[in-house]
Amino acid sequence: MKRLLVILVVVLVIDVQSCSPNNSPTVKTGKDSSITPITHADVERWIAAWNSHNLDSIDAFYADDALIYQTQNPEPLTKKTMNHFFEMVFKTYPDIKFESKAITVEEYEAVSWENVTGTMKGEFTNPTTGQTLAPNGKHFEYEVAKRITYNHDHKIKEVHIIFDELTLSRQLNLPIK
């Protein structure tokens, strides 16, 4: 009888142990949160950083090997070259604003559809031609699509940007090369 009792207790303990990992709720650790897919909040924080015009806040979103592609640019921007370019953008268009129209998110990919507005109050050096344009006080408004690829730690790995340069150039009355 004692033997039977021992067997029953052992069987019960084994059953309980084998089932417990599936039954107990898991607590998210820091490691877990770093491998959760991105959400709209990641993209909204990025847009908020752009609207803050704070270069350090924007820079913090990108991975060290991040690349930013724009169809008009011959070379992608890197973590080293982006700050200088962003700084010029904020000086050229001090009121530049990024309004979110829609966000589509799936796993570690997001597409942000934005309406961008601003006024040309500072000079602008074209990264493709090196030509510097004087400010003309004109206002622009255009639609832009940004495809953002994130790393598992939610840092931005790549951004691909599409907008119509013709619309922008016409609104700002800029010469086109």
Please, what is the minimum distance in Å from the beta carbon of residue 15 to other proteins? 5
Residues 128-157, interacting with other proteins (CB under 8 A): 142-145, 147
- For 17, the 3-state DSSP assignment is helix
Residue whose CB is less far from other proteins, 96 or 144: 144
Q: Report yes or no: 105 and 43 within 8 Å, Cβ to Cβ.
A: yes
Please, what is the minimum distance in Å from the beta carbon of residue 101 to other proteins? 8
Specify burial of residue 118 (Cβ count, 10 A radius: 0-12, 13-18, 19+): buried
Span near other proteins by CB under 8 A; candidates 11-19, 49-57, 58-66, 120-128: 11-19
Please, what is the minimum distance in Å from the beta carbon of residue 30 to other proteins? 26
Encoded tokens for 72: 């008009």
Encoded tokens for 169: 């150039």
Write each residue from 24 to 63 as x if it is in contact with other proteins (CB under 8 A), else as -, in one continuous string. ----------------------------------------
Instruction: Give the start-end residues of each E strand in the chain.
Output: 62-70, 77-78, 97-106, 109-119, 124-125, 132-133, 139-150, 156-163
77 in contact with other proteins (CB under 8 A): no
Q: Which residue has the tokens 């602008």?
A: 124
Please, what is the minimum distance in Å from the beta carbon of residue 54 to other proteins? 27
DSSP string for residues in 4-29: HHHHHHHHHHHHHHHHHHHHSPPPPP
Binding site for other proteins (CB under 8 A): 1-2, 4-5, 8-9, 11-12, 15-16, 19, 22-23, 71-72, 102, 104-106, 109-111, 113, 142-145, 147, 160, 162-167, 169-170, 175-176
